[in-house]
Amino acid sequence: MKIEERIKEQISVYQTVRYVRWCERSGSSRPLLLDSANGQDCVMHCTQIKRRGMGIFMEIYIHKMNDYLKGSVKVDLKIANNDWNDFNNDISWFIKPNDIVTITETSKGRDFFKFSDSFTRIYPVLSELLKKARVTNVQVNNKPYQLLGWSDHEGNSFGWLVRPPAVDINKPLCNEHKLLLTYFGGITERWNETEISWLLNLNSALTLEDAEEGFQGWENYIADVSNDEDFESYINPNDYIAFAFEANGNMTLYHKNNSSLIMLAHDHCFEHITPLDGYPEYTIYRINDCPDLVAWVEEVAKQEIIRLIG
């Protein structure tokens, strides 16, 4: 088997870093910074490893180094992290050439998250899911994220890339959303997700930066389709906050005053939604057995927690 095939099947750059770190502890001071400026240093360090009887890891490390150097991606690897590796393999478009990425040590969710009694009472399933996570702080071009990883019954990792908790909530969100953002900043990406997840195909969900009033430009579409059916739309878009955004323009919104849900779905094959009273197909829907924002968040958490080991 060729060395390239071994690399793809067996070894990640993060596994290799553990061996490099072992050599650091034995006396070397080479940096673990992957970029064009330090490329030669890393290759020289790996040559030293080869002379110590670890040639395969030297070749693998150089191979992976070259992958990074081609895109001029700089990654400060402070710890081996399989969740980050799996995330990047599945969501390969997220990190772009010239991005600067910093990854810090992974913590257990039970140690990392400190929820209030009101949070765990309102969001019990989400609280338990987050407590079971592996949490890694990540920065991409100085923008902070948290990588939340879990393992399923087959030992495969899956998880979310989320924003950190919001510090200044300056939008007219409902109280339940504000409470959520105090401890959990919302979801931007996922890896190894299932087909049944309500997060499937979403660009983001629950984040402060994306949450906005109204139909996000779909007002005329709703009015036109409704008029074609001799129906007058009675939903005031300005009463609602859009918080979950599908790539095709579908979105889920809650009412500012009571957090009741609607979904705007102009293009879908969902089986868990029903047209809102009077509205034609492919306009405004209610989500079956999911009356409000809290129910939506808890259902998403349930869909993930049933995948966990133990």
CA–CA separation, 211 and 199 (whole Å)? 16
At a CB cut-off of 8 Å and minimum separation 6, what does 261 contact? 252, 253, 254, 255, 286, 287, 290, 291, 292, 293, 295, 296
Backbone CA torsion sign across 26, 27, 32, 37: negative
**pLDDT at 297 exceeding the cut of 50:** yes
Residue 142 pLDDT greater than 90, yes or no: yes
Tens of pLDDT, residue by residue over 188-247, are 999 999 999 999 999 999 999 999 999 999 999 999 999 999 999 999 999 999 999 999
CB-CB neighbours of 261 under 10 Å: 22
Please check whether residue 185 is in contact with residue 164, taking contact to mean a CB–CB distance below 8 angstroms. yes
Percent with pLDDT over 70 in the chain: 74
pLDDT higher than 70, residue 3: no
Place of tokens 């879908």: 268
pLDDT above 60: residue 6: no
Residue 242 is which amino acid? A
What is the rounded average pLDDT of the residues 91-112? 93
Please give the Cα distance from 144 to 139 (Å, whole number): 4
Q: Confidence class of residue 81 from pLDDT cuts 50, 70 and 90?
A: confident
Would you state the pLDDT for residue 105?
87
